[in-house]
Amino acid sequence: MPRIILHIDMNSYFASVEQQANPFLRGKPVGVCAYLSNNGCILASSMEAKKFGVKTGLTVRLARELCPQIIILENHPDKYRSTTERIFGLLSEYTDTLEPYSIDEAFLNLTGLVKSFSEAKKICEEIKVRIKNEVGEWLKASQGLSFTKFLAKFASDCGEKDGITVIKNIEQAEQWFEKVELTAAWGIGDKLKIRLNELGINNLLDLKNYPVTNLRQKLGIMGYYLWANVNGIEIDHVKNDEEILPKSIGHSYCMSKRTTDKEYLGKILMKLCEKTGRRLREQNLEAKNLSMYWSYSHGGGYGKSLKTNDSFFTTRDIFKKAFSVLKNFNLPDRVAMLAVSVSNLIPSNNQLSFLEDKLKKRELNKALDDINDKFGDFTVIYGQMWETGKNAPDRIGFRKSLRPPGVKDGVEYHY
């Protein structure tokens, strides 16, 4: 019986949800952003806006230059989360192995539940109809079917939007590999593309046929992963709920007030640390690594990652470590974006320390979290967060949380 993996990716998700909620937005170019200011970042653009070149990552100012008639909306995280819950609830009816990849993507393992790719495609068609009928008629999804996770995602990424693309075998995959960019493959960005080009690898077919020993010698274990993916060798599997643990948890904020004032930056940082700590404790986890990162108004940035021997979970501990990086650094320019993340996550334990009582700290933080859960976020706050009510509001992104770019364990990074 063949392995059959389905990857589903909602198209222009945040924008489509907004168009679903407001029929007057349908058929019009829409951009969903983090903030309504000109420096706000576009999180998602509708299919109509994409025709003008408006894409994720652009500033609101540039989006308006490309498409003067674009309708800019501030994002509504609760709206997207509730829609995702309905979609994933629907998907879970088809398999007990559903792995959310992000708020708008998921993998489903259909192996053993269907006998062939033809039967699996019928399920895809049924899912498409059910999403429109039960969740929203304006919501569209690209679906990819294949025998590995990588090829299933590759099929949905490269196939027709709102379509169903099937790659049954490696021969069919090769037909795609010749005609798409290297960066069309999951895990290959612009920098890695340059390194592959230097090796004479200009498309995915070149990568498939490249000697794996040489590739691993040049790129390490990542070289093998890349080669295995395009050769149809499964190096991962669709995970169930019990197997899914985040690799990192973090938050970032694009500054509405760009400044070098460390007292002000510390207030914002404390709020980011509180949001990070809340999520860490909600999942009953502790962290052993912390990454701190910021970017400057005129380009460039700085990041540093810290390793600790003892795990931590309180907002105060996260803040102390993060602020120590900021406090001791001479800022050459105004800060435009601030980010903090924790990684090397482990399940919580109540092991006692010679220096402090972890159990008491846990009980205190649980009491504060319970109050904020009952009466609303930031009902009880640290004094450091005073007058940050409108700063760093609830935001949501497409991908899993990752440490800031360029930050590696135990090192610092300039660019």
Range of the domain at 388: 245-414
Whether 93 and 110 share a structural domain:
yes
- Residue 174, domain CATH: 1.10.150.20
* Active-site entry in 18, 105, 274, 286: 105
Whether 286 and 403 share a structural domain:
yes
Whether 212 and 77 share a structural domain:
no
Contact 269, 326 (CB under 8 A): yes
Whether 82 and 59 share a structural domain:
yes
Phi (first) and psi of residue 262, to 5 degrees: -70, -25
Is 105 one of the catalytic residues?
yes
Whether 37 and 184 share a structural domain:
no
Please indicate, yes or no, if residue 272 is contained in any of the structural domains.
Answer: yes
Q: 351 — alpha (psi -120 to 50), left (phi > 0) or beta?
A: beta
Please indicate, yes or no, if residue 93 is contained in any of the structural domains.
Answer: yes
Whether 22 and 129 share a structural domain:
yes
Among 235, 260, 290, the domain-final residue is 235
Among 168, 198, 215, the domain-final residue is 168
Q: Is the pTM of this model over 0.75?
A: no
Whether 272 and 164 share a structural domain:
no
Whether 258 and 326 share a structural domain:
yes
Q: 245 — alpha (psi -120 to 50), left (phi > 0) or beta?
A: beta
Please indicate, yes or no, if residue 204 is contained in any of the structural domains.
Answer: yes
Whether 76 and 214 share a structural domain:
no
Q: Which residue has the tokens 């995702």?
A: 84
Residues 6+ apart with CB under 8 A from 29: 45, 46, 48, 49, 51, 52, 54, 67, 69, 70, 71
Whether 206 and 139 share a structural domain:
no
Please indicate, yes or no, if residue 388 is contained in any of the structural domains.
Answer: yes
Whether 211 and 267 share a structural domain:
no
CA-CA distances (angstroms) from residue 94 to 108, 129, 274, 286? 8, 14, 37, 34
Whether 175 and 164 share a structural domain:
no
Q: How many domains does the chain have?
A: 3
Q: Please list the pLDDT of the chain residue by residue as tens digits (415 residues).
A: 689 999 999 999 999 999 999 999 999 999 998 778 887 889 899 999 999 999 988 889 999 999 999 999 998 888 998 999 999 999 999 999 999 888 899 999 999 999 999 999 999 999 999 999 999 999 999 999 999 999 999 999 999 999 999 999 999 999 999 888 899 888 898 889 999 999 999 999 999 999 999 999 999 998 999 999 999 999 888 887 666 777 889 888 888 788 999 999 998 999 999 989 998 998 889 999 999 999 998 888 999 999 988 899 899 999 999 999 999 899 999 999 999 999 999 888 655 554 456 667 777 777 777 777 766 666 666 666 655 555 555 555 444 432 333 333 333 332 2
Please indicate, yes or no, if residue 240 is contained in any of the structural domains.
Answer: no
- Residue 16, domain CATH: 3.30.70.270
Among 113, 139, 168, the domain-final residue is 168
- Residue 373, domain CATH: 3.30.1490.100
Contact 156, 8 (CB under 8 A): yes
